[in-house]
A = this chain, B = another copy of it.
Amino acid sequence: MTRFDTVVTGGTLVIPHVGEVRGDVGVRDGRIVTLADDLSRADADVRVDASGKVVLPGAVDSHFHLGIYNDLATDTETETTSSLVGGVTSVISYFRTGQHYLNRTGPYREIFPEVLATVAGRAKVDYAFHLAPMTAEHIGEIPWLVDEMGVTSFKYYMFYKGFNLASSSADAKSYTMSENYDLGHLFEIMEAVAAAQAERPGKRLSVSLHCEQAELMRVFIERAKKDPTVSGLAEYSAGRPPLTERLAIEEAGVLADATKVNLNLLHLSSQVALETAVELAARYPGMDVNREVTLHHLALDHETLDARGGLGGKVNPPIRTKRDNEALWEGVRRGWVGTVASDHACCMEAEKGGHGATEVWPAQPGFGGTALLYPVMLSEGVHKRGIPLTRVAELVSAKPAQTFGLFGRKGTIAVGADADLAVVDMDLEQVVTTELCQSAQDHCPFEGETVKGWPVTTLVRGVPVYENGKVAADSPGQYLKRG
């Protein structure tokens, strides 16, 4: 008789692009081997009772920053722990040379194996990396990275041309540790990725873009700093207004059309940015563009955060207005948004000038959110705005997996797929606290928000590593070669 390592029974399966299905899941050797109407009496070592719950594919948090501010090894442990809280079972983290991260430069042939070695055995969830070709040498490494290392997505930061990460310094060269980090460099990345793509038709290779235009930012930052009527996160948004996103997106669009590369437009923060990105696709009908938004650009606004005080919510691009929140939700509704991610970066309050700091420019940007990926999408999306559950699963699981070469293994609930599952109690309501997120981060911009719909069990390859707030001791996360 059939034997399973784990069965998940009694729940409603939310299968991306398929729908909500009453079904049980049987797991063996980390993979789903059976989907069935009733496995309640099946022979299994571990039984997860999902009665009255929904069973979602584990989220693929495709925008993550392991080790950006903290020791990479430690960050991997603490922050992927936080992921489990949010039903996240895979993260795709950014890595680059230059300041922050390992604070050095050099070829990825040298550095990337070190990164993998450091991370190995420490992650609670599976993980992959997007890499940023910072130098000409890196561009030359792209085919090797694709074929040997399983890296299929390459990032360019449009504002590093003129600023460091906090935009507290315009000495971009020492920040990137690179010679010519500009649109010419981007063009060469795009050409290289498009050329690699042409020879590997079965994969989706792509260029991911942080779209804020540095030269315009300079002007608006100068103005914001001089303007006595703005402060805090409002000042930060004024210094990097949506027009800087719009210009950056248009620049990227011209180059992508010229090179015929696949694009991911990351963390579109504003109505203007999203609309520009949509117009781009309409203008260039053959262009493959994924549009990403983050949890915080959907759910937070600077008016509310500034009223609470503190600079915890400083992030790039900045938190915008309630109006932008709604425009992004409308984009979700219309299918204009492809993926939703957390852009998780564990950034302690000390990095932001300490508790009660008010000077926004020196503060470091970024914060954690992976613990809230499913909860906020379910609460704000499904409960408040009527977005279908299946659509949420597509936004945070299936589409990120498809976009970044993990689909099949990740991103769905199917026989043969990894048994990455989030068992969610749609009725569980909790107020967000720093502790609840289980990150190393000592503050949380979402703190105080009432959120309804939380994972009660998160399974990574069939193992329930998170149950009712408890995280298992071991770190089963494996590196995901993509393609």
Q: Mark A7-50, 1 if CB is under 8 A from B, else 0.
A: 00000010111110111001010000111111000000000000
| Cα A247 to Cα B258 with chains together (Å) | 10
In the complex, residue of chain B having the shortest beta-carbon distance to the beta carbon of A276: B254
Residue A1 at the chain B interface, CB threshold 8 Å: yes
State whether A219 and B187 are in contact (beta carbons under 8 Å apart), knowing that A17-B17, A416-B23 are contacts in the complex: yes
| Cα A369 to Cα B432 with chains together (Å) | 58
A282: which of B34, B246, B282 is its contact (CB, 8 Å)?
Answer: B282
Residue A412 at the chain B interface, CB threshold 8 Å: yes
State whether A414 and B21 are in contact (beta carbons under 8 Å apart), knowing that A37-B33, A184-B219 are contacts in the complex: yes
Interface stretch of the complex, out of A107-115, A144-152, A210-218, A305-313: A210-218
Residues of B within 8 A of A334 (CB): 285-286
| Cα A213 to Cα B184 with chains together (Å) | 9
| Cα A185 to Cα B216 with chains together (Å) | 8
Shortest distance in angstroms between A389's beta carbon and chain B's nearest beta carbon?
A: 13
Residue A183 at the chain B interface, CB threshold 8 Å: yes
A258: which of B1, B2, B243, B283 is its contact (CB, 8 Å)?
Answer: B243
State whether A415 and B251 are in contact (beta carbons under 8 Å apart), knowing that A180-B218, A216-B183 are contacts in the complex: no
Residue A480 at the chain B interface, CB threshold 8 Å: no
| Cα A162 to Cα B182 with chains together (Å) | 11
Between A18, A187, A218, the greatest number of chain B beta carbons within 10 A of the residue's beta carbon is seen for: A18
Shortest distance in angstroms between A406's beta carbon and chain B's nearest beta carbon?
A: 12
A278: which of B15, B19, B285 is its contact (CB, 8 Å)?
Answer: B285
Residue A195 at the chain B interface, CB threshold 8 Å: no
Check if A36 sits within 8 Å of B37, measured CB to CB. Answer: no
Shortest distance in angstroms between A339's beta carbon and chain B's nearest beta carbon?
A: 15
Check if A415 sits within 8 Å of B35, measured CB to CB. Answer: yes
Check if B408 sits within 8 Å of A184, measured CB to CB. Answer: no
Residue A188 at the chain B interface, CB threshold 8 Å: yes
Residue A101 at the chain B interface, CB threshold 8 Å: no
| Cα A28 to Cα B38 with chains together (Å) | 12
Interface residues of A in 74-102 (CB under 8 A from B): none
| Cα A216 to Cα B252 with chains together (Å) | 12
Check if B255 sits within 8 Å of A251, measured CB to CB. Answer: no
In the complex, residue of chain B having the shortest beta-carbon distance to the beta carbon of A188: B219
Residue A479 at the chain B interface, CB threshold 8 Å: no
Check if B215 sits within 8 Å of A23, measured CB to CB. Answer: no
Shortest distance in angstroms between A398's beta carbon and chain B's nearest beta carbon?
A: 8
Interface residues of A in 408-447 (CB under 8 A from B): 408, 412, 414-417
Known: A15-B414, A243-B254. 17 other contacts (CB 8 A): A17-B18, A17-B398, A18-B18, A19-B408, A21-B415, A33-B38, A34-B37, A35-B35, A162-B182, A183-B216, A185-B215, A187-B215, A187-B216, A246-B258, A279-B285, A282-B283, A285-B334
Pick 28 A–B contacts, CB within 8 A, sort by A: A2-B36, A15-B414, A17-B17, A17-B398, A18-B408, A21-B414, A21-B415, A22-B416, A23-B415, A33-B37, A34-B35, A34-B36, A34-B37, A35-B35, A182-B218, A183-B216, A184-B216, A184-B217, A184-B218, A187-B215, A187-B216, A201-B386, A243-B254, A246-B254, A250-B250, A250-B254, A282-B282, A285-B336
Residues of A at the B interface (CB closer than 8 Å) are 1-2, 13, 15-19, 21-23, 26, 28, 33-38, 161-162, 180, 182-185, 187-188, 201, 213, 215-219, 243, 246-247, 250-251, 253-255, 258, 278-279, 282-283, 285-286, 334, 336, 386, 398, 407-408, 412, 414-417
